[in-house]
Amino acid sequence: MTVVAIRKKLITYVTDAEDSKVQALYMLLEREIEEGVFAMSDEELQVLEMEEELYLKGEGKSYSREESMQIIKGQRSF
């Protein structure tokens, strides 16, 4: 399974998980989150920069909050 697929599964899980499980997951990662240890891979950063460039040119696709939530929940595709 690719890292992208794992991320999608985790996002979906966290969105619908019980509060106690979300809190437990946060506790595992709290130090890294609070200290800003989060880092993107070179590939992820390159994709983000490309998407930003397209958006600033008016050529990129943006989504409303509702559309974003549907994508996250797997109810809609990109």
Extract long-range pairs of 15-18: CB within 8 Å, 24+ residues apart. 15/72, 15/73, 16/73
φ, ψ for residue 33, nearest 5 deg: -65, -50
* 35 or 8, greater pLDDT: 8
> Can you give the pLDDT at residue 24?
93
> Can you give the pLDDT at residue 37?
63
pTM of the model: 0.42
Return d(Cα 27, Cα 20) in angstroms, integer.
Answer: 11
**DSSP label of 17:** S
pLDDT digits (tens, 9 = 90+) for 14-51: 988 899 999 999 999 888 777 776 677 889 889 889 98
For residue 78, tell me if it sits in a domain: no
| pLDDT at 78 exceeding the cut of 70 | no
- For residue 20, give its domain range: 3-72
Looking at the structure of the chain, the number of domains it has is: 1
> Can you give the pLDDT at residue 76?
77
For residue 38, tell me if it sits in a domain: yes
Tokens read off for 19: 């509060």
